[in-house]
Structures are given as structure tokens and as C-alpha cells.
Amino acid sequence: MSNAGTPALRLAGWAPLRAVIWLCLPTWLGVGLFLLSFPLYRPIPVFRAATYAEVFFVWWILVDPLINLAAIVLMLSKRRRIGLTKGAKIGAIVTLAITVLVNAFFALGMWAAFYY
């Protein structure tokens, strides 16, 4: 009897976590770009009618919630279909929770900046 397939089987339970991290990556890239884009009131060089602040507002209100929803659905479906190891489940839940909180913080902040 060979144990050659055992590490691959152990790593298979971590595959959904990698997928969740890849789906959460746009939020973190958006945060990084946001921090590098100050001052936000500057117009975009290619499209002068919009400012950087408006682009980030649209990103955190429309795009990021859909990506986060896809990550949540992916995690739930993979958890039921192939099963997650306990560490992968905790890692995926913590990653998604932090990503959703960061997204909500930035979306609420941009909304408050525009409407108050």
C-alpha cells in the first residue's frame, strides 16, 4: 500500500481557501490603490469627467459586493460538496469576514464623503 496520494488528498481540502483568497484579492488591491491615489479629487487623465473618488465609490458599491458574494457562495458550495479541513474552513471564514468588513468600511466612508 502506497502513501503517495496522501499529501494530495490533504491539500485538496485547502483548495477552496485558495479560491476564496483569489476572489477576495480585488478588495485588497482596491484598498492598496485607494491608499496610493491621494488626493482623490483629481480627474482621471483618460476620462476627465470622473474623479478617482467616483471610481472608487462605484468599485466599492457595485463591483466588490458581487465579488464577495461569489466568494461566499463558492465557499459554501465547496464546503458541502468536497468538505473543508477545519483550518481551511476557519481561514476562509476569517478571510471573508475581514474582506466584507473592509469593503463595508470603505463603501460607507465613500458614501458619507459624497453625501454628507
| Tens digit of each residue's pLDDT (9 = 90 or more) over 77-116 | 876 666 667 877 888 889 899 999 999 999 899 889 888 7
- Over residues 4-44, the pLDDT tens digits come to 455 554 556 667 678 888 888 988 998 999 999 888 888 88
SS3 at position 43: strand
Enter the pTM of the model. Answer: 0.75
SS3 at position 47: coil
Domain positions in the chain: 6-115
Spatial contact of 92 and 16, defined as CB atoms under 8 Å apart: yes
Number of other CB atoms surrounding residue 65 within 10 Å: 15
| Nearest of 52, 59, 53, 50 to residue 26 by alpha carbon | 59
